[in-house]
Structure 1
């Protein structure tokens, strides 16, 4: 008999697989009006309309990793530092945002699944993988632009 933890992990894997399939299907037809981004769900390159930005904020990003890896996030998911996720104080869970490091113009698309950061004057906490994608591991923080691409529930 499987434990609740094993069942929960299997359900999360099933949901992630579904998201990967949906994301892959939506990225099939390239268009010059669109720009490339890394998908928050699976890390693959997908196309998004640059005009689809719903809100823009600038501030300081930090990242969280090892100490929190494997622990529950505020929305009940298990935190995986290798996934493209982030914590924000107020954005609804499931909100998808593009985070751009203003010093090197590298960007990554992440999904909000946690609350934070809990340090004053920080806008967003990124997973280690997301932080690595925008070149901020060495510095630990970066001035960023956060663009909301879709609102969560």
Structure 2
């Protein structure tokens, strides 16, 4: 059966000046970001886990604009480097290829051939920022682009103003009952910490994550800068991946969200990135 995908036909044209014929189901001809302030600190990374392929969006082969595409049987071991774009307001509230509703404020993505859904770690190679996204859509149908990210993901990775960025993508948690070899070790560490918390009565706390880097020197530089402005402890948290280590910089923990928000504001005023508030076991920071 051939599936003609309309959900992400213009995925990847956001902020790049590309023009596409508008489908009648969309009320906007050109894609843009949100028309209101978006607090990126409210973004929550999806937790990587195995999800069986959905009945919708995984038909293979399928055809778009006269081109035929094959859907991979599995994302196991998938890694690639290429150009990422983002899509936003034009598609917000419309159905994705697997039947979900696209929310540009969530960390999601579109890919031409990965099974839906798939969790990916995406790293912006221009600044080493990294995040987890959940692939639930098809696209981008540009030959020079690898993946189309939600507006929120582009904000976290720091390229919403440029429209595109060179990224590395790695599949996460693609095996039933287990984790893919490139899975971010944070997920495993969190699971272990949760088990310990259940056994020993430990609780979670709020942290401000200021950055995630492949480069230790970049993470160390940010940590040292935060020492000068942060009112709480600064942590450098390392997680192993297949081809190296992800270095996250956290500040905290905080007893309540109000305190975390205040610290986040201080960090933003000092132009030290786009921090987000996360909840983690209190001993996760070491």
**TM value normalised by structure 1:** 0.65
Alpha-carbon shift at residue 111 of structure 1 (Å): 0.4
Q: Which runs of 5+ in 1 are unaligned?
A: 1-37, 43-52
2:121 to 94, 98, 113: 98
Q: Is the 8 A contact 1:54 1:150 kept in 2?
A: no
Q: What CA distance in whole angstroms lies between the structure 2 residues aligned with 1:152 and 1:131?
A: 27
Moved beyond 6 Å, runs of 4+: none
Structure with the higher strand share, 1 or 2: 1
Gaps of 5+ in 2: 1-43, 49-75, 177-286
1:54 positional shift: 2.6
SS in 1 for 2:121: strand
Find the counterpart in structure 1 of residue 94 from structure 2. 71
CA RMSD of aligned residues (A): 2.0
Spell out, residue by residue over 1:81-127, the C-alpha distance to the aligned partner (whole angstroms, 9 max, x if none).
Answer: 00000000010112100000001000110001000001221000000
Matches within 5 A, 1:127-142: 127-142=150-165
Instruction: Provide the C-alpha distance between the structure 2 equivalents of 1:40 and 1:58, rounded to a whole number of angstroms.
Output: 22
* Aligned residues between the structures: 106
Note the C-alpha offset of 1:150: 2.2
Which one has a bigger Cα radius of gyration? 2
Structure 2 counterpart SS, 1:129: helix
Q: 1:41: Cα distance to partner?
A: 5.0
1:147 aligns with 2:170: yes
CA distance in 2, matches of 1:86, 1:80: 10
Instruction: Give the match for residue 40 of structure 1.
Output: 46
Q: Is the 8 A contact 1:95 1:112 kept in 2?
A: yes
Q: Is the 8 A contact 1:87 1:124 kept in 2?
A: yes
Residue 55 of structure 1 deviates from its aligned partner by: 2.4
